[in-house]
């Protein structure tokens, strides 16, 4: 039987999520990769319990994570039942709907029909009574934002979730849905957006919206799916995301990545006695602008290494300048 480490809350930092009452662990664990139907159940259990033992309280899932779509939720549900059930009130579990999940006109995007049905399916797959955060996963160009906001509000008021979030929304739509939700009495808790040294779209305006509206912020792909680690400095290892033929990180993409720049960043990390993965996470969290950063992992050791980054001194202005110099205008 799993018993959580008693020291877990001493090992993590917790940041307030926007102007809400909720705090999130500075690092969260995402289940996009390595939690599907053909992945090792023992390994995923180890990853989740290692994360919780290190004080990670927030686990990020979506209806379509797998493959097959839905299998990450099923696997997380099994881990909950077998290991984490006594700790349910210590966990923030999120799911999302927005991408394709089932055939026909109601299986994706942002209608009330899709969002409520998908949330019910996700609750069933995980076996949970409620989600802590339920997200609209991507903006829908056709459904009125009023309908999507009303569906999210209903999901909270009907007891299916405690808070709502959005992901991949631009500035204007974020501002609009935030105002709609506030008027409905269900303030927008959090915005989930891609953010790493090479992908910095949020810096040009979204961060200002989050601050003015009091919305929390959570970054995904902080390691650019593994590119911002020492993983690919000497080719593509067979057990890596790109080596396992992920459709999201292809060998082509790795081969076209600015490996010399990544190697130069790695040198700064080594000089300060840490790994590039650790430095990339510190960089994402710099200045306290992000509430949390969602890491992915393929083994528990990566989670242990990544959480240890939080013990390191903050990046100095000189180090940050050096990083900017190396990056130049490089985008992935
Ligand atoms: N809202 C959205 O649209 C959206 C989109 C994408 C992701 N997300 C969320 O964000 C989460 C994280 O995304 P991600 O998995 O791409 O994040 P990431 O942290 O950028 O990449 C994770 C990968 O980096 C490698 N890695 C992690 N720690 C390492 C270490 N210490 N040393 C060497 N390599 C290390 C592992 O790759 P190997 O497998 O090669 O070991 C791991 O699978 C997802 O699970 C999901 O919850 C949300």
Question: pLDDT at position 204, please?
Answer: 85
In order along the chain (332 residues), what is the average pLDDT of each group of 10 residues? 97 97 98 97 98 98 98 98 98 98 98 98 98 99 98 99 98 98 98 97 95 98 98 96 92 93 97 98 96 98 98 96 92 76
Domain presence at residue 271: no
DSSP letter at 89 equals G
Question: pLDDT at position 4, please?
Answer: 98
Domain presence at residue 82: yes
Number of separate domains in the chain: 1
Given ligand 1 and candidates 166, 228, 229, which is best to mutate, with the most ligand atoms within 8 Å of its CB? 229
User: Could you tell me the pTM of the whole model?
Assistant: 0.98
Domain presence at residue 160: yes
Taking the C-alpha atoms of residue 10 and residue 4, their distance in angstroms, rounded to an integer, is: 13
Domain presence at residue 257: no
Q: What number does the ligand 1 atom closest to the CA of 167 have? A: 1
236 contacts: CB under 8 Å, gap ≥ 6: 242, 243, 251, 254
Q: Tokens standing for 14?
A: 């917790």
Taking the C-alpha atoms of residue 51 and residue 44, their distance in angstroms, rounded to an integer, is: 11
Domain presence at residue 298: yes
Given ligand 1 and candidates 34, 274, 297, 308, which is best to mutate, with the most ligand atoms within 8 Å of its CB? 297
> What SS3 class is residue 331?
coil
- Evaluate: CB of 26 within 6 angstroms of ligand 1: no
Question: pLDDT at position 245, please?
Answer: 77
Q: Tokens standing for 107?
A: 């299986």
Domain presence at residue 308: yes
Nearest protein CA to atom 30 of ligand 1, as residue: 302
Q: How far is the CA of 27 from the centre of ligand 1 (A)?
A: 12
Name the residue among 110, 120, 5 with its Cα closest to residue 53: 5
Name the residue among 155, 279, 287 with its Cα closest to residue 211: 287
User: What b/e readout covers 287-314, taking b as 16+ CB neighbours within 10 angstroms?
Assistant: eeebbbbbbbbbebebbebbbebbeeee
For tokens 């390691």, the residue is 223
Domain presence at residue 244: no
Report the CATH number that the domain containing residue 121 is assigned in CATH. 3.20.20.100
Q: Containing domain of residue 305, as a range?
A: 8-225+279-314
Question: pLDDT at position 246, please?
Answer: 87
> What SS3 class is residue 327?
helix
Nearest protein CA to atom 8 of ligand 1, as residue: 220
Taking the C-alpha atoms of residue 67 and residue 277, their distance in angstroms, rounded to an integer, is: 26
Question: pLDDT at position 331, please?
Answer: 77
Taking the C-alpha atoms of residue 89 and residue 324, their distance in angstroms, rounded to an integer, is: 41
- Evaluate: CB of 241 within 6 angstroms of ligand 1: yes
Domain presence at residue 321: no
């Amino acid at each position: 039987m799993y018993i959580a480490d008693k020291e877990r809350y001493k090992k993590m930092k917790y940041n307030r999520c926007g102007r809400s009452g909720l705090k999130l662990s500075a690092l969260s664990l995402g289940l996009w990769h390595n939690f599907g139907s053909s992945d090792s159940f023992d390994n995923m259990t180890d990853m989740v319990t290692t994360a919780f033992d290190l004080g990670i309280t927030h686990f990020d899932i979506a209806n379509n994570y797998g493959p097959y779509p839905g299998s990450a939720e099923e696997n997380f549900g099994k881990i909950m039942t077998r290991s984490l059930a006594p700790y349910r009130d210590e966990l923030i579990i999120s799911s999302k709907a927005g991408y394709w999940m089932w055939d026909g006109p109601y299986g994706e995007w942002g209608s009330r029909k899709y969002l409520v049905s998908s949330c019910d399916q996700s609750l069933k797959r995980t076996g949970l009574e409620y989600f802590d955060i339920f997200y609209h996963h991507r903006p829908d160009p056709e459904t009125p934002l009023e309908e999507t906001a009303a569906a999210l509000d209903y999901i909270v008021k009907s007891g299916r979730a405690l808070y709502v979030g959005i992901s991949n929304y631009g500035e204007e739509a974020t501002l609009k849905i935030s105002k709609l939700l506030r008027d409905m009495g269900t303030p927008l808790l959090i915005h989930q957006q891609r953010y790493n040294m090479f992908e910095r779209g949020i810096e040009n305006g979204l961060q200002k919206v989050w601050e003015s509206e009091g919305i929390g912020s959570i970054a995904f792909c902080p390691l650019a799916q593994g590119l911002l680690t020492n993983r690919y400095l000497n080719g593509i290892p067979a057990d890596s995301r790109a080596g396992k033929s992920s459709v999201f990180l292809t060998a082509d993409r790795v081969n076209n990545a600015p490996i010399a720049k990544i190697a130069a960043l790695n040198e700064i990390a080594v000089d300060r006695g840490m790994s590039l993965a650790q430095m990339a996470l510190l960089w994402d969290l710099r200045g306290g602008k992000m509430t949390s950063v969602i890491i992915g992992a393929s083994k528990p050791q990566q989670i242990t290494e990544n959480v240890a980054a939080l013990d390191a001194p903050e990046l100095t202005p000189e180090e940050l300048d050096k990083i900017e110099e190396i990056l130049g205008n490089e985008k992935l």
